[in-house]
Amino acid sequence: MKNKKAFTLVELLVVISIIALLLSILMPSLNKARESAKKIVCASGIHGTMVAFATYSISYKDYLPYSGRPFPYMGMLDFANLLVSQGLDCRKIHCPSDPYKPGSVAYWWKNNPTFSRPMDARDHIARKVPVGVTPEVPYSYYYNVKMYVDYDSRSGDIVWASMKQWKLSDVKYPSRLIPYTCFDPTWGGRHSPKGKTSKLNDISKGGHQAGFFDGRAVFVPFTKITDRSPIGQAAYGGVRNLDYTKNGIRGIDVK
């Protein structure tokens, strides 16, 4: 009986080297494709919420959602509770790139000195938790503060203590104002729980996964974001922070 010819050590090493070479060529492309797919899914989630915002304003005589509760309640929790009536599925307010469980918003909440605890039912409007989610919500998205507070007409800075319910018609630049963004740190946004102050001035990479009132949901690089209002530009992360849009809801975020 003839012995079967086995691979020599040299032949095995050649095969392994070829496989390693192919992987080194393909992996960057695969990673880019994966990230592109995640951005598409993220943008789809943002778009769905922006549609709910639009239908809400139609149902409520042009008014935008408003609970009367300040940051962080309105921007992190209440907007979703208010939009459920417009068909928003709160289970979809989650970015596939979000590294935190159940989501970046809950992670921020639990690690913020103001709370230092997980979210629970008492944090929701009238203790009412949206259908499909737990009290510690899986949200990755955030409704910016400028959308429910007034602003100083002289300096352009938002006034945190002056809550206000705006109308959709108050938005002067619907294609350039960003009301709603992905809170997930993956894209490099200001609200990254692991963000380091020393890196806040580096805007060469990253940007905002953003929703617009004209219906778009797109990625906007930091380099395309306008300078913030005086206070925001000086102390709160500059273009990484979309709360501090100069002239608030009547301002411009995208150059």
Mean pLDDT of 26-40: 76
For residue 2, being part of any structural domain is answered with: no
For residue 60, being part of any structural domain is answered with: yes
For residue 1, being part of any structural domain is answered with: no
Q: What is the DSSP string of 2-13?
A: PPPPPPPHHHHH
In whole angstroms, give the CA distance from residue 214 to residue 217: 9
For residue 131, being part of any structural domain is answered with: yes
Residue 50 has pLDDT above 90, yes or no: yes
CA contacts within 13 A on the Cβ side of 40: 6
For residue 194, being part of any structural domain is answered with: yes
For residue 15, being part of any structural domain is answered with: yes
What range defines the domain where residue 100 resides?
Answer: 11-250
What's the full length of the chain, in residues? 255
Residue 3 has pLDDT above 90, yes or no: no
Q: How many domains does the chain have?
A: 1
Tens digits of per-residue pLDDT, 60-71? 999 999 999 999
Q: Are 174 and 214 in contact (CB under 8 A)?
A: yes
pTM (2 d.p.): 0.82
* Residue scoring higher pLDDT (146 or 22): 146
> Which residues make Cβ contacts (< 8 Å) with residue 78, sequence separation at least 6?
65, 67, 69, 125
* Residue scoring higher pLDDT (14 or 128): 128
Give the per-residue pLDDT at 4: 57
Mean pLDDT of 136-150: 96
For residue 3, being part of any structural domain is answered with: no
Give the per-residue pLDDT at 193: 40
Q: Are 107 and 183 in contact (CB under 8 A)?
A: no
Report the candidate in 192, 190, 174 with the shortest Cα–Cα distance to residue 233.
Answer: 190
For residue 120, being part of any structural domain is answered with: yes
Residue 244 has pLDDT above 70, yes or no: yes
Q: Are 76 and 105 in contact (CB under 8 A)?
A: yes
